[in-house]
């Protein structure tokens, strides 16, 4: 079995806060899909950030019913998602995939529970806000149309955190991004496949044929994530285009090539940005250093940059290799790395819940 996480370092980011004397009762929170990679991380991060929880429920499908999950120093036993009554619950973090979300999210929303959904089902719905709190926190206010808020794709989330402060300064015209996405983005079975294939390369009789992926992932890279579309791009690439436009600015042109790499956790991106106005690399570096959710590690020396192994367990989006692109008039190149199970999924969902609490619900 593949190890789910490597050694962890934690970057403190302030959780929900209300002025002294204004604290009310906390929230009743549901985590749906609590036994999966992202669901477990949601529980971890809710505890780490001391989200004001009065009561919490871990939900799973019937095949995982009764599985135990950790929430801080507590142990939760999963309940049946199919029969769970969402009435009286405040917030539900969904990590159950689009098909199940289509069935259960409207049920929760109708019961008055705000759904924060990690699947792609509602991301492109004009009546559902698509939120990255460092980028467009005000979008949370539109949740009431359907009582649902969408979490963006993992590769989009970290990129827009880097793009937004630069866009505010110099207006972005075009983005060319190549991603190097870890197997955890495909779930536990994909992590196991990488682990088993790697062992199989050295242990006769333990060879592992591709199952999750169309080709071998161990010691290989696969330029194919999600389904192919008519224009030759993949759905993952299309998501990055559509979501960047919805979250940051519909005028930005984006072209993406998304690649799966033999890394367990942590997505990396090489991003080329063309601006309307000139932006010096030193100013870009200073802007990013001051931007929320970002840590700049950019020394022009051996090891003076961040790689996926180093970002695991961290809240930050790391930016390195900031430099001028001399082939276009107003261009910057940079390297962007983040833990995809955290900022790309679970952390962003919890941050949305915090933003919703601070701006609208006012508990905790």
Which segments within 276-364 are labelled E, that is strand? 294-296, 317-325, 331-338
Residue 299 three-state SS: coil
pLDDT tens by residue, 40-80: 999 999 999 999 999 999 999 988 888 999 999 999 999 99
For residue 338, the cross-strand partners are 267, 317
When pLDDT is cut at 50, 70 and 90, the band that residue 22 belongs to is: very low
Give catalytic residue positions.
154, 267
Per the annotation, does 181 bind a ligand? yes
Per the annotation, does 37 bind a ligand? yes
Residue 189 has pLDDT above 90, yes or no: yes
Per the annotation, does 21 bind a ligand? no
Q: What pTM does this model have?
A: 0.91
Per the annotation, does 35 bind a ligand? yes
List of residues 6+ apart from 148 with CB closer than 8 A: 105, 109, 114, 115, 116, 117, 122, 128
Cα distance between residue 36 and residue 188, in whole Å = 8
Per the annotation, does 184 bind a ligand? yes
Cα distance between residue 139 and residue 116, in whole Å = 13
Q: Are 305 and 271 in contact (CB under 8 A)?
A: no
What structural domains and CATH numbers belong to the chain? Answer: 27-151+345-360 (3.40.50.720), 155-182+221-338 (3.30.360.10)
Per the annotation, does 348 bind a ligand? no
Per the annotation, does 114 bind a ligand? no
Q: What is the pLDDT of residue 24?
A: 54
Query: Which residue reads 């952390």 in tokens?
Result: 347
Mind giving me the DSSP string for 116-173? Answer: EE-SSTTTT-TTS-B--TTT-GGGGGGGGGTTEEEPPPHHHHHHHHHHHHHHHHH-EE
Query: Average pLDDT in the 227-235 region?
Result: 98
% of the chain with per-residue pLDDT over 90: 90
């Amino acid at each position: 079995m593949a190890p789910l996480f490597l050694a962890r370092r934690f970057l403190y980011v302030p959780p929900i806060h209300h002025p002294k004397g204004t604290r009310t009762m906390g929230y009743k929170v549901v985590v749906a899909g609590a036994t999966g990679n992202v669901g477990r991380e949601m529980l971890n991060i809710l505890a780490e950030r001391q989200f004001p929880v009065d009561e919490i429920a871990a939900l799973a499908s019937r095949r995982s019913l009764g599985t135990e999950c950790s929430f801080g120093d507590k142990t939760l036993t999963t309940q049946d998602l199919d029969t769970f009554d969402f009435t009286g619950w405040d917030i539900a973090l969904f990590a159950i995939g689009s098909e199940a979300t289509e069935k259960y999210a409207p049920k929760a929303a109708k019961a008055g529970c705000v759904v924060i959904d990690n699947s792609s089902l509602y991301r492109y719905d004009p009546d559902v806000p698509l939120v990255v709190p460092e980028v467009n926190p005000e979008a949370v206010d539109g949740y009431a149309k359907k009582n649902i808020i969408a979490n963006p794709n993992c590769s989009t989330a970290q990129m827009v955190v880097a793009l937004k402060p630069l866009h505010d300064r110099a207006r972005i015209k075009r983005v060319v991004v190549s991603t190097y996405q870890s197997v955890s983005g495909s779930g536990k079975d994909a992590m196991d496949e990488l682990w088993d294939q790697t062992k199989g390369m050295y242990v006769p009789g333990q060879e592992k044929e591709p199952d999750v992926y169309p080709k071998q992932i161990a010691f290989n890279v696969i330029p194919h994530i999600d389904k192919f579309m008519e224009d030759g791009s993949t759905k993952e690439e299309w998501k990055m285009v559509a979501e960047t436009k919805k979250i940051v600015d519909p005028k930005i042109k984006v072209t993406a090539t998304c690649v799966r790499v033999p890394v367990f956790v942590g997505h990396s991106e090489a991003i080329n940005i063309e601006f309307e106005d000139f932006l010096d690399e030193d100013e870009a570096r200073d802007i990013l250093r001051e931007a929320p959710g970002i840590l700049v590690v950019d020394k022009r020396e051996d090891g003076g940059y961040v790689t996926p192994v180093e970002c695991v367990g961290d809240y930050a989006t790391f930016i390195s290799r900031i430099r001028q692109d001399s082939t276009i008039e107003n261009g910057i190149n940079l390297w962007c790395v983040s833990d995809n199970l955290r900022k790309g999924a679970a952390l962003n969902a919890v941050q949305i819940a915090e933003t919703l609490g601070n701006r609208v619900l006012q508990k905790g």
